[in-house]
Amino acid sequence: MSLLSRLLRPRADEHAPVRKLWHRVVELAREKAWYAVHGLSDSVPGRFDAITLVLALVLLRMERDEALAAQSALLTELFVTDMDGQLRESGVGDLVVGKHVGKLMGVLGGRIGAYRAALAEADDAALREALERNLSLNDGSDAAALARDVRALAARLERTPADALLAGAIAA
């Protein structure tokens, strides 16, 4: 095989095992209920909040399953790739994109920790507080209803077998 043909050959998609799951995370984060019912701000920060909320719940599910550990890193890489593209598209210059992505990863990590601790509590008080602290909510938002629906999504994710989760098929 010539050097040119090796260079021009399409590379395998290393993120293929989680690409359907990433698309499902984005799809879930774009559901109108987050904005119309629960009062997340329908803005760039609000949409980022919705994506990190859903992604955090998925990653929390994945961390409890040894079979999904490697794929959780791939899923996080897709998040980074998407955020990098979004920042560049919004006009952030090449020299500071990495810094911005680093901050966004810090936000995601902090939210994973906050949601992990809050979901471990029996009642929704800690979860309501974590959601109010970490999401761009409109005035008059019902954090109690939001917490119930977040806990319900987390339960659906727990009921989803590993292979179905990777395929983006979340249990009902």
Q: For every one of its 172 residues, what pLDDT tens digit does the chain have, with 9 covering 90 and above?
A: 566 666 676 677 888 999 999 999 999 999 999 999 999 999 989 999 999 999 999 999 999 999 898 899 999 999 998 887 777 777 776 666 778 788 989 999 999 999 999 999 999 999 999 999 999 999 999 999 999 999 999 999 999 999 999 999 999 8
pLDDT of residue 159: 97
What CA–CA distance (Å, rounded) separates 159 from 156?
Answer: 5
In this structure, is residue 7 part of a structural domain?
Answer: no
pLDDT of residue 4: 61
Cβ-defined contacts of 66-69 (< 8 Å, 24+): 67/162, 68/162, 68/165, 68/166
pLDDT of residue 112: 98
In this structure, is residue 3 part of a structural domain?
Answer: no
In this structure, is residue 34 part of a structural domain?
Answer: yes
Length of the chain: 172
In this structure, is residue 71 part of a structural domain?
Answer: yes
What CA–CA distance (Å, rounded) separates 37 from 29?
Answer: 13
In this structure, is residue 55 part of a structural domain?
Answer: yes
Distance of CA 62 to the CA centre of its chain: 12
In this structure, is residue 128 part of a structural domain?
Answer: yes
Rg (CA), the chain: 18
Burial class of residue 82 in the structure, from the number of CB atoms within 10 Å of its CB (0-12 exposed, 13-18 middle, 19+ buried): middle
Give the count of domains, the chain: 1
pTM of the entire structure?
0.89
Domain of 30? 17-165
Q: What are phi and psi of 40, to 5 degrees?
A: -65, 140
Burial class of residue 163 in the structure, from the number of CB atoms within 10 Å of its CB (0-12 exposed, 13-18 middle, 19+ buried): exposed
In this structure, is residue 8 part of a structural domain?
Answer: no
What CA–CA distance (Å, rounded) separates 170 from 94?
Answer: 36
Token pair in block for residue 134: 């970490």
In this structure, is residue 102 part of a structural domain?
Answer: yes
